[in-house]
Chain A
Amino acid sequence: MSNQAVVSSITPTAKAPRNFRIPSVLISSAMGFLLIAALCAVFANVLAPYGYNDQNLLYRLKPPSFLGGPQGHYLGTDELGRDVFSRLVFSLRFSLIIAIAGTLIGAGFGTLLGFLAAHFRGVCDEALSALIDFQAAIPFMIFALAALAFFGNSILLFVTLLGLYGWEVYARLVRGLVLSAKELGYVEALRNLGFHPVRIYGMHVLPNIAGSLLVQITLNLPGIIILESGLSFLGLGIQPPLTSLGLMIGNGREFMTTAWWTAVAPGLVIFLTALSVTLVGDWLRDRLDASTST
């Protein structure tokens, strides 16, 4: 469908003509932030002074220690007296794991379909574009919510749904890249060496298009992070006792009048993460464009 081209580009991957470079200070800060976030996620259990479900009903909705709250609770406590900072680093861990898992599922699924369509052409190609058209007919959010309603919430379904978000971008990208590799005679040459198609695509074509795929993954990741936190915010994604950044905001929203930090802290983390990944993705794409055009 004609609008489909736009669907993929409405996510922060839209290719507006770029005329100036992103200042390198911003890129370094974004990378720095992502590094810190990744370290926090990996070493959550070392960094967190409390467990993410440790309740202390005597210390409920206390402000951050730098605003006069109790010592040791750097970002204050929530309605059950749980330490916001500790919950934050664990939420970051869960949110990142789920977003990355979803991204990998989507990238894998889309890449596979792209290879199939480019290899077999004909009916396979038609089926792929029909599938893409069809997916464009139901807004993704509604589709995901309906699946959660029909099948009931489970972490497996949730991650799968995140994986279905944006797969068509990879399918399209890979299909195009493989077709151009075929055009150049590369695939035919490998085929004539007696290689199995799985070897041709998996061991020769894939490594050569991995750069473009990686850029696309980076460009899609912010969308998935925001989708994950949105669904969890609604209470329809990650379920307690697990925690996620969106879930924290959803909880904190109830106590905004008295304890704004419970919602603002995870909100800032989502915002900065999505922004940093977007900036790094744009930067990676510019570098890839520069290296392929020369």
Chain B
Amino acid sequence: MNVRFLIARTLRALLTLILVVTFVFVMLRLAGDPIKMLLPEETPANVIEQYRARWGLDAPIYVQYVSYISSVLRGDFGTSFRDGRPALEVVTERIPATATLGFAGLIVALLVGLPAGIAAAMKRNSAIDRAVISFAVLGHSIPTFFFGILLILLFSMSLRWLPSSGSATWAHLLMPACTIGLWNAATIARFTRASMLDVLSKPFMRTAVANGLPLSWRILGYALPNAAIPIVTIIGLIVGQLLSGAVIVETVFAWPGIGRLTVTAVAAREVAVVQTIVFLAALTMVAANLLVDLLYGWLDPRIGSSTEGKSR
């Protein structure tokens, strides 16, 4: 991997973040008086004046833009109406819960999706293949919230095995993780199957068969590493969209993470909290993309030398 590629990618990531901040700034301006949206209604007039001065809202628009960026850089996103604490604090304290859930969901997705995709590709057109494809189609047709409700009905209401909501124990984690995992497992299975089929048709795989290498060796040692790039891409995307998926699943299972915070903040129009979440989501996405790009360079050294080739 060359340094130039790394720098180009990092700069691009930074540029994207600046664009997101600009976009939020424009949206806020279009929506109304930012002070009214970022501070609670009962905020004393002198505090409002303080903020107005601090954000330079009486200044020309480009000055406001610059001071908005600088306050974002300082981590000052405004104050939550509900408890009067800084929005950043309200959001960051929820990160561990969402990260735990997202990580567990990813593990489930990988444990189900990867073997399913590999098996389907190995036994192309077999019953297994059909089952995996059906699973992928079904998995994308069931809305996550409905799947979660079905799990609750089955495991909490009928069988009384698992708690339906909350986050006190590991048992609480199981159903939400499976719910997030299902959709992503369907995606991963689909992509793994496609890229494995692609690799298996390559001449070097036939050579490996002819050389009498055992099946497991051929899969783990040859096919999977060569099929890794699209699979890594899709995993990166899943990680990048972690917050998105969390919104619904956390609501269904009353999981105290950022997703649920998002729903309550949007319902109460707590703009300060919402914009913090938008930045966090964009940061996650950009970081995941950057990580995937760096992984590409490591998985396939050819990519680092032709930065343009892969951007299309």
Contact = CB atoms under 8 A, between A and B. Distances in A.
B146 A271 contact: yes
Given A16-B136, A19-B124, A138-B285, A2 B271 contact: no
A2 B267 contact: no
B143 A230 contact: yes
Most buried by B among A138, A250, A267: A138
Nearest to A225: B143
Contact of B247 (A141, A256, A260): A141
B160 to A, nearest CB: 11
A102 interface: no
Contacts of B285: 136-139
Contacts of A141: 241, 243-245, 247
Interface in A140-196: 140-143, 145-152
A110 interface: no
A37 interface: no
A142 B248 contact: no
Interface residues of A, number: 56
A134 B13 CA distance: 11
Most buried by A among B30, B149, B311: B149
B271 A138 contact: no
A261 to B, nearest CB: 11
A250 B237 CA distance: 28
A234 B251 CA distance: 8
Contacts of A279: 137
B143 A234 contact: no
A247 to B, nearest CB: 12
A278 B143 contact: no
B146 A267 contact: yes
| Centre residue among A142, A150, A234, A270 by max chain B CB count within 10 A | A142
Nearest to B19: A134
A260 B157 contact: yes
Interface string B246-283: 01100110000000001101110111001101100110
A204 B198 CA distance: 37
B145 to A, nearest CB: 5
A230 B152 CA distance: 18
B141 interface: yes
Interface of B, helix, strand, loop or mixed by DSSP = helix
Contact of A12 (B140, B143, B252): B140
Contacts of B281: 138-139, 142
B196 to A, nearest CB: 10
Nearest to A141: B244
B133 interface: yes
B124 A2 contact: no
A278 B277 CA distance: 32
Contacts of A137: 16-17, 19-20, 282, 285-286
B190 A222 contact: no
Contacts of A253: 145, 149, 252
Contact of B266 (A149, A246, A260, A267): A149
Given A152-B269, A267-B146, A271-B146, A14 B129 contact: no
Contacts of A233: 143, 145, 248, 251
A205 B157 CA distance: 56
A235 interface: yes
B85 interface: no
B138 A270 contact: no
A172 to B, nearest CB: 11
B247 A145 contact: yes
A102 to B, nearest CB: 16
A128 B237 CA distance: 21
Interface stretch (A3-11, A62-70, A75-83): A3-11
Interface of B: 12, 16-17, 19-20, 23-24, 27-28, 30-31, 37, 124-125, 129-130, 133, 136-138, 140-146, 149-150, 152-153, 157, 187, 190-191, 193-194, 197-198, 230, 233-234, 236-237, 240-241, 243-245, 247-248, 251-252, 262-263, 265-267, 269-271, 274-275, 277-278, 281-282, 285-286, 289, 292-293, 296, 310-311
Given A1-B289, A138-B20, 19 more contacts: A1-B12, A2-B293, A14-B187, A15-B194, A16-B193, A17-B197, A17-B198, A19-B124, A134-B16, A139-B240, A141-B241, A150-B269, A150-B274, A235-B267, A249-B146, A256-B153, A270-B143, A274-B142, A274-B143
